């Protein structure tokens, strides 16, 4: 027989006025005041989500991600912390995982993929973009790999 595990909410530090829609899988993370978490979302341990954030359905936020205040994470956004630096997944080798830092007032469009990077404040990431490098200038970024489109 297979081992069956259920989505759960465990050891989460919720700020005031947080809303989430089940089913979600939240564990060992912190969710800031007045933030919203949509259904079918997983937020892993040690993730920090700032205040007044909106995380839409089907998004995956892996360990080592920090999201600032007033951010929007669209449907199906995937965060990655393993760059396969040894040519394969770093199973049991969490020391190879890399952090991601999202600034304040960042909007990430649906189905974007965010590799371990740092994104400054006041950035819009277009739907379907793949962010492979740090973003240090506010503005709109689109494409694969994501490139600066214009200021906002």
Residues 6+ positions from 16 with CB-CB distance below 8 Å: 33, 34
Is residue 5 domain-resident?
no
Is residue 6 domain-resident?
no
Is residue 127 domain-resident?
yes
Across 121-134, b (16+ Cβ under 10 Å) vs e yields ebbbbbebbbbeee
pTM score: 0.95
Is residue 71 domain-resident?
yes
Q: Can you give the length of the chain in residues?
A: 152
Domains held by the chain: number: 1
- Quick one: which of 28, 20, 38 has its CA closest to 110? 38
The CATH number of the domain holding residue 100 is 2.160.10.10
Contact status, residue 41 vs residue 55, Cβ threshold 8 Å:
yes
Is residue 85 domain-resident?
yes
Residue 89 is predicted with a pLDDT of 86
pLDDT digit string (tens) for the chain, length 152 residues: 999 988 899 999 999 999 999 999 999 999 999 999 999 999 999 999 999 999 999 999 999 999 999 999 999 999 999 888 888 888 878 888 999 999 999 999 999 999 999 999 999 999 999 999 999 999 999 999 999 999 99
Q: Which domain holds residue 24?
A: 11-150
């Amino acid at each position: 027989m297979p081992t069956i595990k259920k989505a759960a909410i465990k050891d989460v530090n919720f700020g005031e006025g947080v809303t989430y829609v089940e089913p979600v899988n939240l564990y060992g993370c912190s969710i800031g005041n007045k933030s919203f978490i949509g259904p079918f979302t997983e937020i892993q341990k040690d993730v920090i989500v700032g205040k007044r954030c909106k995380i839409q359905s089907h998004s995956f936020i892996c360990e080592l991600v920090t999201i600032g205040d007033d951010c929007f994470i669209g449907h199906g956004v995937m965060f990655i912390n393993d760059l396969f630096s040894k040519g394969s997944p770093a199973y049991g080798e969490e020391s190879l995982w890399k952090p991601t830092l999202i600034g304040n007032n960042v909007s990430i469009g649906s189905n974007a993929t965010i590799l371990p990077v740092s994104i400054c404040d006041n950035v819009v990431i277009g739907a379907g973009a793949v962010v492979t490098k740090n973003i240090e200038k506010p503005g709109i970024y689109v494409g694969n790999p994501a490139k600066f489109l214009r200021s906002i």
